[in-house]
Chains A and B, each alone.
Chain A
Amino acid sequence: MDDGSLREVIEAIAKALVDNPDEVMVKEIDGEATVIIELRVAAQDLGKVIGKQGRTARAMRTILRAAGMKVKKRFVLEILE
């Protein structure tokens, strides 16, 4: 699998939920066994990608975990402003 598509997954979800989709930036930092996916959004959109009690962030991490099982890699989502 092309790991880059998981970057697209996070980007698609974030862009669908925020008020400022143009300010969504997703970067992928590849490690040997772990891939860090860094999600940056406008400060006022942070709550939108984290969600009530962190549910949106948790949903994104659940998807990354399932996708990671298929390629035997760990994907870590970091949310930044």
Chain B
Amino acid sequence: MPHDHAKRIVEFINRIIESSSLDLRASVLPDGDGFKIDVRGEDVALLLGHNAELLDALEYLGNRLLAQEASEESRITFDSDNYRVRREKELRLMAAHGAEKVRISRVPFSFDPMNPNERRIIHLSLAEDATVKTESRGTGPDRKVTIYPA
């Protein structure tokens, strides 16, 4: 993705943040071969509360804008001080812990609803584990992962 697309998204997001009186600021950061948008500030608790609901909302809107501007299919990640990496580690731990419970109890275990990205991390981290299987059920924001004994 070209840098000027990322810059325009940042301008749009900062306008939203400012008009919302949130003490946050978005900026473009390098990320691998491309860019990501990093959001930080005093209101980080509001940004990352409820499983980063606000960060995900901003990411979704930023990508809607990108889809209109970019000709090719591209996506941009929104992050906050490497929250995505920290959250992935946490999800892998939750998956391992949930699988352990299911192995011992032989009773299925359901997580709270998660967004597609987070559900994917749970599925992937247990994909190699032959003792359990995972499945997503429910629709929209209520969709959640359940671990079953294999």
> Count the A-B residue pairs with Cβ separation under 8 angstroms: how many?
65
Q: Are A12 and B16 in contact (CB under 8 A)?
A: yes
**Interface flag for B141 (CB, 8 Å):** yes
Which residues on A sit within 8 Å (CB–CB) of B43? 66, 70
Contacting B46 at CB < 8 Å: which of A6, A8, A69? Answer: A69
CB neighbors of A among B92-122 (8 A): none
Q: Which residue of B is nearest A52, CB measured?
A: B140
Q: Are A66 and B61 in contact (CB under 8 A)?
A: no
Q: Are A63 and B12 in contact (CB under 8 A)?
A: no
Shortest CB–CB separation between residue A17 and chain B, in angstroms?
Answer: 6
Contacting A54 at CB < 8 Å: which of B12, B22, B53, B140? Answer: B140
Contacting A62 at CB < 8 Å: which of B12, B57, B140? Answer: B57
A11 CA / B140 CA spacing, docked (Å): 25
User: Number of A interface residues, CB 8 Å?
Assistant: 24
Which residues on B sit within 8 Å (CB–CB) of A1? 21
Which residues on B sit within 8 Å (CB–CB) of A62? 53-54, 56-57
Instruction: Please list the residues of chain B having a beta carbon within 8 angstroms of any beta carbon in chain A.
Output: 12, 15-16, 19-22, 43, 46-47, 53-54, 56-58, 60-61, 64-65, 68, 139-141
Name 28 A/B residue pairs within 8 A (Cβ), A-sorted: A6-B20, A8-B19, A9-B19, A9-B20, A12-B15, A16-B64, A16-B65, A16-B68, A17-B65, A51-B64, A53-B139, A58-B141, A59-B56, A59-B61, A60-B57, A62-B56, A62-B57, A63-B16, A63-B57, A63-B58, A66-B20, A66-B46, A66-B47, A66-B54, A67-B21, A70-B21, A70-B22, A71-B21
